[in-house]
Amino acid sequence: MAGPPDLPNRAGCVQTAVAMALPTLVVTGSSGFLGRHLLDTHKERYRIVGLARRSQARSGAPVHSNIEWHQVDIGDREALERVFREIRERGGAQYLVHLAAHYDFTGVEHPEYWRTNVDGLRNVLDLSRNLGLRRFVFSSSVAACRMPGPGEVVDETTSAAGDHVYAKTKRMGEAMVQEYSDAFPSSIVRFAALFSDWCEYAPLFMFLSTWLSTAWNARVLGGRGRSAIPYLHVLDAVSFVDTVIRKAAALEPGSVLNASPDGAVSHAELFAAATAYQFGNARRPVFMPKFLCGPGMTARMLAGKLTGEVPFERPWMARYIDTSLTVDARRSRAILSWAPRERLEIVRRIPFLLENRRSDLEQWLRRNRAAMKQVEMRPNLKIHRLLEKHESGIVESFTQSTMAPNAPPELARYRGQSVEQQQWHHRLVLRQLMNAVRLRDRSGFMAYCRDLAEYRARQGFSADEVEHAFEELNRICILTLGFDDDSLDVRPYLDQEITTTLRFGCDQVQETYEMLEAVRG
């Protein structure tokens, strides 16, 4: 006997009801290394709202019926407000894990540090006030602390007093989180350097690539090889966050927790473990005196700029040679009744990393190169920042171009609109373009262009006139950015990010006009 005709809908309703009954977990930075693992582990136990700059498909994040994805930049207050409004209207959220952050190894104070780590965090904190959170978990780092002196350690009471830009923004972030103690309880989690069985930690990837090669510097270690930091396997990092969420009610508001093993692991220890597994016996390293390392790094940096192959090691790193970021996480372990698993300790895990490298080099390189791309600001993000920087100038030039008496005939109809109308429309289309460049997703821009085509058609514009305006906007954008010295390293990407996007828009305009003609016919 056939089942009732509404059975599929009933099943869908039951599934939806079950999902809605789960506690809601909001995760910013869901497309990142830890974020993807966190979503994969928690997808059955929470209704997850993932926020990220990248799309779910492009980042390789898990897809599941309990995961709702929003491609949004936390630095974009207006867009973020829309997402948080939706969350609030559906009953709010119990937990929020803030992982979104900018970090690179260039030593340069990119504006993205302040835009994401400070302004973006402020946006998230402000908008979290009305979610009804039981716990706000802020992701910081033990690297935000100053290197301890000989015999000293970094523990939960150590202030985030590092002097590099990342440490400064994390210090500000930790202070900002404490400011919202009246709105929701929080925990500050300082992570050690995170890695996986595929490595996926940029410095370690570069070390292993050098040590296992036939390069001239394959055996060279800076100083006495005592440079040391703590490492934590990403699976242990996920376990730590899970424990914080589960025990949130028992945790002191504003608590600082160290997600890290005790101590630190030196380059010499890693070198010995890696070469022993790769070659059968640990190789003897060659130690380069610390006073030579800085000049050597500077020389390699200059040579790299000439050849176009800038090395990973930067001169700023020389001052940390033979220093040790030694951690004492006993207090966190006692509070949470949690400990990192011995089998996931970095030296014990090196053979697993190298076995993956040996058995599937293509995937090893793919994963680590993807991680390396995040070391410096991606070209599309830099182009977005440049467009944002010159927004007013581009709108003004675009308006002057369309309003000029000697403008091409294809732009003549635009002169029938006021300057204010022109500027409003030009700013709107430019911001749609900027959004597409920032997100590397043209679907929203294409949808906008279809709507624009219908609007212009009702005003009497032809498809050629709209397309010509797009071509003029492209010319002005490329010309304006080309005169900015800050665009030097992204000029090869301008055509791909700006021109191609506008061509997609022109295609949608043409297609919309053809459809309108067919309807009229």
- Mean pLDDT for 282-298 is 82
Q: Bridge-partner residues for 190, per DSSP?
A: 140, 258
| Range of 211-215, 348-352, 358-362, 384-388 with top mean pLDDT | 348-352
Cα–Cα distance between 261 and 338 in angstroms, integer?
A: 11
Q: Name the one residue in this structure whose structure tokens are 């927004």.
A: 391
Residue pLDDT, tens place only, 194-225:
999 999 999 999 999 999 998 888 999 999 99
Would you call 259 helix, strand, or coil by DSSP? strand
Residue pLDDT, tens place only, 96-144:
999 999 887 666 677 888 889 999 999 999 999 999 999 999 999 999 9
Give CA 89 to chain center in angstroms: 27
Least confident range of 250-254, 347-351, 408-412: 408-412
pLDDT at 6: 45
Would you call 181 helix, strand, or coil by DSSP? coil
User: CA dihedral defined by 159, 162, 163, 168, rounded to 10 degrees?
Assistant: -70
Q: Is residue 171 scored above 60 in pLDDT?
A: yes
DSSP assignment letter at 260: S
| Domain spanning 15-192+231-260+326-340, CATH class | alpha beta
pLDDT at 308: 53
Give CA 185 to chain center in angstroms: 25
CB of 161 closer than 8 Å to CB of 197: no
Cα–Cα distance between 385 and 387 in angstroms, integer?
A: 5
Q: Is residue 410 scored above 50 in pLDDT?
A: yes
User: Own/partner pairs for 372-378, CB < 8 Å, 24+ apart?
Assistant: 372/202, 372/205, 374/104, 374/202, 375/104, 375/105, 375/106, 375/202, 375/312, 376/104, 376/106, 377/102, 377/104, 377/110, 377/112
Domain boundaries, the chain: 15-192+231-260+326-340, 195-229+265-323+345-372, 379-516
CATH no. for 379-516: 1.10.490.10
pLDDT at 303: 65
Q: Is residue 340 scored above 80 in pLDDT?
A: yes
CB of 259 closer than 8 Å to CB of 232: yes
DSSP assignment letter at 117: I
Q: Tell me whether the CATH fold assigned to 15-192+231-260+326-340 matches the one assigned to 379-516.
A: no
pTM higher than 0.75, yes or no?
A: no
Cα–Cα distance between 32 and 138 in angstroms, integer?
A: 15
Look over the chain and give the mean of its residue pLDDT values, rounded to a whole number.
88
Q: How far is CA 338 from CA 80, 164, 244, 289, in A?
A: 34, 31, 10, 40
Residue 496 is encoded by which pair of tokens? 């791909």
Least confident range of 21-25, 451-455, 485-489: 485-489
- Both ends of the chain: CA-CA distance in Å? 50
Residue 102 is encoded by which pair of tokens? 């900018």
